[in-house]
Amino acid sequence: MRILITNDDGISAPGLVVLEAIAKTLAGPQGEVWTVAPAFEQSGVGHCISYTHPTMMTKLGERRFAAEGSPADCVLAGLHVVMKDTPPDLVLSGVNRGNNSAENALYSGTLGGAMEAALQGVPAIGLSQYFGPRNYETANPFEAASVHGAALIARIFEAKVQSNNDYGLFYNVNFPPVPAAEVKGTRVAAQGLRPGTSFTAEPQLSPTGRPYLWIKGGDQHIPTAPGTDAAVNLEGYISVTPMRADLTAHDALEALKVIQ
């Protein structure tokens, strides 16, 4: 296999090292792993692309590039420039530092990279490692992803899920906030919503007296509805959520026809 990897935490992030090891296992001894990742952290950029300014790119080594842009930019660079003559069989994005379950998925640069690959017709998976008291301060907080990632990805593609929608599928995988040995298994789960939790803005004052603000996240350990992504993660399970870029609220189409 030829695999393209990217992330949103940046080219130097420890999660990218974990993803590279996962990708090498999947690619096999005759395969290739190519990296095109952001030169700087791009957390929270979602599916944005650098449409109005150039994206500078630097070759750092064999099959390894850093681009001054978003994860979606990196995927576009990988598919249309770096691997133009030898396109990848799979795009992997991550392993993100922190979960992309529930509403986090809507902001995630990790999933933005996977979404762009799906829009380009390439199978893609975004991978994220939930953090919590059971794993955050361990020697390897990414252990659950490191140990279980490659085998899980192989099982996803062995399932050969077919989509009847023009928008291709991509997958959101979140590893639970526990050591690898405590992972209970895998659950296919819908995206949930943490009740009463959202991003907020917190005003601050600089030493020079100028106002500024930080965007602040909510409590990540509030479970979503039973059986949905964050709920099963907090129960110790890996969540696998099939997604696509179609934002249509299909359940509202019929009711809205009264306005026609």
As a whole number, mean pLDDT of residues 65-69 equals 98
pLDDT at 163: 84
Length of the chain: 260
Please say if the pLDDT value at position 164 is more than 90: no
Mean of pLDDT over the chain: 97
Please say if the pLDDT value at position 78 is more than 90: yes
As a whole number, mean pLDDT of residues 82-109 equals 97
pLDDT tier, 127 (very low <50, low <70, confident <90, very high otherwise): very high
96 annotated as ligand-binding: yes
Q: Regarding predicted confidence, which is higher, 164 or 234?
A: 234
219 annotated as ligand-binding: no
Task: Quickly count: other Cβ atoms within 10 Å of residue 200's Cβ.
Answer: 11
Which structural domain range is residue 246 located in? 2-259
8 annotated as ligand-binding: yes
178 and 185 in contact (C-beta within 8 Å)?
Answer: no
As a whole number, mean pLDDT of residues 199-211 equals 96
Task: Quickly count: other Cβ atoms within 10 Å of residue 131's Cβ.
Answer: 18
Please say if the pLDDT value at position 99 is more than 90: yes
43 annotated as ligand-binding: yes
Overall domain count for the chain: 1
Please say if the pLDDT value at position 95 is more than 90: yes
pLDDT at 38: 98
Tell me, what CATH number does 21's domain have? 3.40.1210.10
189 and 130 in contact (C-beta within 8 Å)?
Answer: no
pLDDT at 114: 98
